[in-house]
Amino acid sequence: MCGIIGCNGVEAAVPVLINGLERMEYRGYDSSGIAVLSQGKIITEKKKGRVAALVKRLEQSTNLDAQIGIGHTRWATHGKPSDENAHPHQSGKFTLVHNGIIENHAELKEQYLKLTKTKSDTDTEIAVHLLNRFYSDNCLEAIAHTVRLLKGSFALAVICEDEPDRLFCVRQASPLVVGIGDGTFAASDTSAISEKIHTLYRMNDGEIAVLSKDSIEFFDFGLNKITKTPDEFEKNSYTADKGNCEHFMLKEIYEQPEAIRKTVDAYLNENVFDLQLKIEKPERFYIVACGSAYHTGLVGRQVFERLTKIPVSVETASEFRYSRPLVNGNTPVIIISQSGETADSLAALREAKKRGAKTVSIVNVKESSIASESDFVLLTKAGPEIAVATTKAYGAQLAALYLLGIYFAEAFGTADKNELEKMKKALTELHKTVSAALGCEELIKEIAQRLKDIDRAYFIGRGLGFAAAAEGSLKLKEISYIHCEAYAAGEMKHGTISLIEKGTTVVAMNTQKELTHKLQSNIDEVRSRGARVIAVTSAESKIDADETITVPEVHPLFAVSTQIVPVQLLSYHIARLRGCDIDKPRNLAKSVTVE
């Protein structure tokens, strides 16, 4: 949520900043801006809209020859998307960019800046005015003074006209990394700078970094010097390449089999868990996540409970941390997050650790905060996911949960050994079955043509089917803006069925053979009231609906992995026909680093 980029000592700062912003645009895309320090003066350009709009604006600017600068791509929290609210913000000789929320901005204004006129509606602007207010002749001291007063979450990159050779960065509860290569660099996300650096430092909360042209010094907020050792990182050769696909989302749906294969291959036969994951048979598992990752948790619960006979609570991270969870040393907490930076999930992880729980994370980004702070990390191998709506990372998270479920069942001796062997075999074949499920795309295109103008839809399912329905509903609503709801199929008649009328669209997910008859009754109930039902089912479970999408048979516990594919494709094609901005849906961002 918001992307920060900074550089110092580079040959040309503007292209470095723009390249970084383009790579981090997934973090927020309602406005963007840069500020560079050239011949003792800071020049700022910012613009509402995408980075492309900023690039256009820059074409008209001259005199942007600079070696040091900062940039920002925004997801609005305080103040609507506009040129004025876009970052960087300036006061006196200081200019800064910010990711996070300064929760006490109103109190600080009242206490220190009563007479200061602000130009924007942002919380951020208060921070830059404070820098100016506390500055006499030492930037670092003004920064330390300011950040000691700020409450909330903030990653900052600051430049000052009086110190043209130094870039200042701060991290408190918002991600920021810094690195050294041909110059020094800062970014919200390692992948934005990984190709430019040989040495990386992940900043911790409460740290200030001072980036000179070829070295970096670290301080705490009391300005005590800190010695840090570099972190490992992977060079990311990713280029924003959609291949033959019109959108990243479609490309990533098609990369799902590979994401599953790589994740399974990395762990199934390597005994990595045996070496590192020492967990005694617990009294309960907690699975905590947000959005689609939470939906994979709903699948995980059923897989774990079936295989381990241990109860599992699945919680949304934003609720978990404030619910005084009954977590202790005997209730491992599994955090699922593609980005590894989701603020609520990170806070939930810290809450779980505080309460003495062992923590396991399922994360797609190795260098992320959640990966580095949990006791054990299971890295999904989905590769960079660019479309805001997750597809391949979701598929890889499911595979990771199957792996963990099998691992725990083996470790605790809670499932039949032959059954576990069968599951392992099925898991090594899963990518092929998911690949075969992609064969439904032509049928999906036809269905999408018929559904493109609907204004609402209901997704229903039982058992695992409900978990798939929840994800299907989220996928369609977030990219097509059609109002969607997901229900446990048996719940419809307790209220929501009153909304069903002639032509209402209902998508029914039939994941469990043994529940097919029950789901059929629910389908019949809505059809007899006029609903048009599209059923997703596997080859061996026949179901009667207005349209049926059949996917290949798979191990019953893995059915969501195949059945989600047609629903992802359906969402994609409906959104495409509606002319939606599929890879960057309105109001959303890929990495949600504010609460």
Give the residues lining the site for ligand F6R (CB under 6 A): 290-293, 337-339, 342, 345, 389-390, 474, 478, 592
Min dist. Cβ of residue 583 to ligand F6R (A):
11
Least Cβ distance, residue 380 to ligand F6R (angstroms): 10
- Could you please report the per-residue DSSP string of 497-558? GGG--TT-EEEEEE--GGGHHHHHHHHHHHHTTT-EEEEEEETTS----SEEEEE----GGG
Q: Kindly state the smallest distance separating residue 104's Cβ from ligand F6R, in Å.
A: 26
**CB hemisphere CA count around 313 (13 angstroms):** 16
Find the shortest distance in angstroms from Cβ 292 to ligand F6R: 3
Assess contact for 97 and 81: CB atoms under 8 A.
no
Distance of CA 258 to the CA centre of its chain: 20
Question: What is the smallest separation between the CB atom of 150 and ligand F6R, expressed in angstroms?
Answer: 25
383 SS3 class: coil
Nearest position to ligand F6R, beta carbon: 291
Give the integer Cα–Cα distance in Å for 297 and 301. 6
Residues 6+ apart with CB under 8 A from 588: 388, 478
What is the phi/psi pair of residue 223, to 5°? Answer: 65, 25
In the numeric block, which tokens belong to residue 352?
């779980």
- Nearer to ligand F6R by C-beta: 389 or 423? 389
Q: Which is nearer to ligand F6R, 181 or 472 (CB)?
A: 472
Please tell me the number of Cα atoms within 13 Å of 511 on its side-chain side: 29
Question: Which SS3 state, helix, strand or coil, does residue 129 take?
Answer: helix
Structure tokens at 449: 């043509």
Q: In what order do the strands lie in the sheet with 177-181?
A: 41-48, 31-38, 69-74, 3-8, 183-187, 177-181, 197-202
The helix/strand/coil state of 466 is helix
For 396, the 3-state DSSP assignment is helix
Q: Which is nearer to ligand F6R, 36 or 382 (CB)?
A: 382
Q: Name 229's Cβ contacts closer than 8 Å, sequence gap at least 6.
A: none
Using the minimum distance from each CB to ligand F6R, give the nearer residue, 179 or 291: 291
Question: Three-state SS for 131?
Answer: helix
Q: Which CB atom, from 541 or from 593, has the smaller least distance to ligand F6R?
A: 593
Contact 534, 506 (CB under 8 A): yes
Q: Which of 36, 46, 48, 6 has its CA nearest to residue 24?
A: 6
328 close to 319: Cβ distance less than 8 angstroms: no
Instruction: Please say which residue, 368 or 516, places its beta carbon nearer to ligand F6R.
Output: 368
Considering the candidates 2, 139, 169, 580, report the single residue annotated as catalytic.
2
Question: Whole-number minimum distance, CB 342 to ligand F6R, in Å?
Answer: 3
- Cβ distance to ligand F6R smaller for residue 523 or 574: 574
Residue 188: CB minimum distance to ligand F6R, A: 13
**Joined tokens for residue 473:** 């509903």
Q: Where are the alpha helices (DSSP H) in 454-515?
A: 464-480
In the complex, the smallest distance separating the C-beta of residue 494 from ligand F6R, rounded to whole angstroms, is: 27
- Residue 526 identity: V
At closest approach, how far in Å is the CB of 388 from ligand F6R? 6
Q: Give the sheet arrangement for strand 285-289, strand by strand.
A: 312-316, 285-289, 333-337, 359-363, 376-379
CB of 344 to ligand F6R, least distance (A): 8
DSSP 8-state assignment for residue 535 = E
Q: Which is nearer to ligand F6R, 331 or 337 (CB)?
A: 337
Q: Which member of 93, 424, 584, 590 is catalytic?
A: 590
What residues form DSSP beta bridges with 98? Answer: 156
* DSSP at 459: E
Measure the CA–CA gap between 41 and 219, rounded to whole angstroms. 27
Phi, psi (degrees; rounded to nearest 5) at 154: -155, 125
Could you tell me the sign of the dihedral formed by the alpha carbons of 474, 475, 479, 480, in that order? Answer: negative
Q: Which is nearer to ligand F6R, 113 or 378 (CB)?
A: 378
Compare residues 342 and 435 and give the one whose CB is closer to ligand F6R: 342
Q: Is 590 a catalytic residue?
A: yes
Query: Phi and psi of 488, rounded to 5°?
Result: -65, 125
CA distances from 412 to 284, 298, 334, 582 (A): 13, 22, 17, 44
In the complex, what is the shortest distance from the CB of residue 197 to ligand F6R, in angstroms, rounded to a whole number? 23
Pick 88 or 175: Cβ nearer ligand F6R: 175
Which among 591, 569, 586, 592 is positioned nearest to 249, based on CA atoms? Answer: 569
> Which residue numbers are catalytic?
2, 590
